[in-house]
Structure 1
Amino acid sequence: MNTKILVTGATGHFGKLTIDFLLNKGVEANHISALVRDESKAADLAAKGVNLKKGDYDNYDSLLAAFQGIDKLVLVSGTDLANRSKQQLNAVNAAKEAGVKHIIYTSFERKNETETSPIAFLAQSHIDTDNAIKASGINYTILKNNLYLDVLPMFLGEQVLESGIYFPAGDVQAAYVSRIDLAEATANILISDGHENKEYATNNIENYSMKDIAESLSEISGKEINYLNPNSDEYAETLKGAGVPAEYIGMFVGFAEAIKQGEFQTNSSDLEKLLGRKPASLNDYLKQVYSK
């Protein structure tokens, strides 16, 4: 395989996992490039023979230089929510100018694309990027990733095994999915054909509620873990009293409300097909994190 692949956000969890899967699946390290802002944070990738390309979403010229000669670009969504739309449009435009042939983008599962969405602060940049990629004329694969199983410990809090789950998500389910599985699916797309101009529903094959999570944790820990479903205002006040920064409170409340509104509940999933196996379940993930 002579395809030249570049992965952005390569020192983050998703980017690094995707590169590791590519290497494990036999892609030669010198065919993989990693976009990094700080090369000192990518010494492990350099040691594996991966090419380091210095670039920043805010610096168009750095992206244009990094994308030269690249066939497939994995555009991992950035973490700077305030500037993400502009940054990712830079990346799409630079990819077009550099002649990139295929963009794989980590987007997200959603039903409500209007500003009434409780997570509009996060959603809009994804929607803008999806639209820009489709308008660019470059072949694309858009991954509509569901909420990561990996965010659950953040929602549940550090004391969940002592004090139970306190989160205003109602009894509505979501198809939480393992970040590791999503990264492997991305690697599989990169090394196979037939993914051009497709949008994939990268959800788990089962949906889970907070009550399901409480039951699973009870079984794993041998303690009775209860789920308390406060209203959003009460929850926000409790977090404020615990010294949680306002921006985190806004994010947690927004995600809880989006879960409650059914944004992440779905019976459609392409993930098993992309992985060639069943994805990790809620119980698999919780056992890994919470087993003694």
Structure 2
Amino acid sequence: MILITGAAGHIGLAVIERLLQLIDPDQVAGLVRDEAKAAGLKARGVHIRVGDYRDPASLDRAMQGVSKVLLVSGGGEDDGLQQHCNVVDAAKKAGVACLAYTSRALQNPATLVNQLMERHFQTEDYIRASGVPYVLFRNILYLDTMPQFVGPQVFERGIQLPAGQGRVAFALRQDMGEAIANVLADSRCDSRIFTFTGSATYSFADVAAALSELSGKPVAYTPIEQPAFEARLQAQGLPEVAIRRITGFLTDIKNGQESTISTDLADVLGRPPTPLKEGLKAIFKL
């Protein structure tokens, strides 16, 4: 049985949807904090297990009868690394044969500005140290997050971000979920690392040009300085910790951290990943 944590979230659902096309639903389990949110999966035959990354006892129960686990990385809580470690510990304790993790495809962890991302590589190290056979999925920035970057008035105001001409090999969450499921359905677990990225890199100027073409409205990208951007976020009432994380994320993009390109995603999908324009068309319903 394959257990997918975060089964009610975006990437968890995408993985499960593909798994249900590949293996019997009776061999798929989903870990959720709120069982009501997984009613649809349960109705389709997926085993639903209730647990929380902070609750080791619930994780021990969830791991029973499981041969593979996909640890979907958690959010930005201060104890996020410990939450991940709790899942790894429970998997080891249960004798799970394969532990997979959704990590990040970044150029150089040692020079990251957004220190929250360091947690991914600390989790990788903890998984290696556990001795449990593993698969690491190093995922590039989801194209699906674009509306959060450009804002709800992108077609009226354009894009103003302190990302310079930084480039990102964006890929759709759906493509990554499909590829992750393809790997999990395979019987092998030989401590492999997959780097899942799009086939090309794009700047926010490229994003603006694609949105202009798709919408028929002029969308411009204006690189702005970090202080001006931070002042705008402060005016919106965002807390300082959130502002630091957002600006750190964009600074890392500016510095090329998200510009890795790999053929792994295309190889595992058996087709090219969804290109920028096609992905934006779906996301913005253009």
**1:6 equivalent in alignment to 2:3:** yes
Tell me the equivalent position of 1:117: 112
Unaligned runs of at least 5 residues, structure 1: none
Written as runs of structure 1 = structure 2, the 5 A alignment for 1:185-200 is 185-200=179-194
Written as runs of structure 1 = structure 2, the 5 A alignment for 1:117-196 is 117-120=112-115, 122-196=116-190
The partner residue of 2:90 within 83, 91, 94 is 94
Decide whether the 8 Å contact of 1:68 with 1:99 is kept in 2. no
Decide whether the 8 Å contact of 2:107 with 2:259 is kept in 1. no
AA partner of residue 75 (structure 1): L
Decide whether the 8 Å contact of 1:221 with 1:291 is kept in 2. no
Same amino acid, percent of matched pairs: 40
Map Cα deviations across residues 27-50 of structure 1 (whole Å, 9 max, x no partner). Answer: 111111111111111111111111
**1:204 equivalent in alignment to 2:201:** no
Map Cα deviations across residues 114-139 of structure 1 (whole Å, 9 max, x no partner). Answer: 3x52111x222211210111111111
* Shift in Å, 1:74: 0.7
Tell me the equivalent position of 2:46: 50
Greater shift after overlay, 80-89 or 203-212? Answer: 80-89
| Partners of 1:165 and 1:195 in 2: CA distance | 43
| Partners of 1:51 and 1:126 in 2: CA distance | 28
Tell me the equivalent position of 2:81: 85
| Partners of 2:237 and 2:123 in 1: CA distance | 34
* Shift in Å, 1:81: 3.0
Tell me the equivalent position of 2:223: 229
Determine helix, strand or coil for the equivalent of 1:49: coil
Map Cα deviations across residues 159-185 of structure 1 (whole Å, 9 max, x no partner). Answer: 001110011111121111110011001
| Partners of 1:93 and 1:174 in 2: CA distance | 34
**1:250 equivalent in alignment to 2:207:** no
Decide whether the 8 Å contact of 1:105 with 1:143 is kept in 2. yes
AA partner of residue 198 (structure 1): R
Decide whether the 8 Å contact of 1:71 with 1:101 is kept in 2. yes
Decide whether the 8 Å contact of 2:107 with 2:260 is kept in 1. no
Decide whether the 8 Å contact of 1:201 with 1:268 is kept in 2. yes
Decide whether the 8 Å contact of 1:102 with 1:139 is kept in 2. yes
Determine helix, strand or coil for the equivalent of 2:144: helix
Scaled by the length of structure 2, what TM-score is found?
0.96
| Partners of 1:16 and 1:244 in 2: CA distance | 29
AA partner of residue 89 (structure 1): C
| Partners of 1:211 and 1:195 in 2: CA distance | 40
* Shift in Å, 1:195: 4.7
Tell me the equivalent position of 2:210: 216
Tell me the equivalent position of 2:232: 238
Greater shift after overlay, 189-198 or 98-107? Answer: 189-198
Scaled by the length of structure 1, what TM-score is found?
0.94
| Partners of 1:78 and 1:243 in 2: CA distance | 25
| Partners of 1:270 and 1:58 in 2: CA distance | 33
Decide whether the 8 Å contact of 1:168 with 1:256 is kept in 2. yes
4+ residue segments displaced more than 4 Å: none
Unaligned runs of at least 5 residues, structure 2: none
Decide whether the 8 Å contact of 1:58 with 1:90 is kept in 2. yes
| Partners of 1:198 and 1:278 in 2: CA distance | 21
Tell me the equivalent position of 2:16: 19
| Partners of 1:58 and 1:285 in 2: CA distance | 35
Determine helix, strand or coil for the equivalent of 2:134: strand
| Partners of 2:37 and 2:29 in 1: CA distance | 15
Decide whether the 8 Å contact of 2:32 with 2:48 is kept in 1. yes
| Partners of 1:16 and 1:174 in 2: CA distance | 24
AA partner of residue 256 (structure 1): L
| Partners of 2:236 and 2:84 in 1: CA distance | 35
AA partner of residue 76 (structure 1): V
**1:35 equivalent in alignment to 2:27:** no
| Partners of 1:272 and 1:112 in 2: CA distance | 23
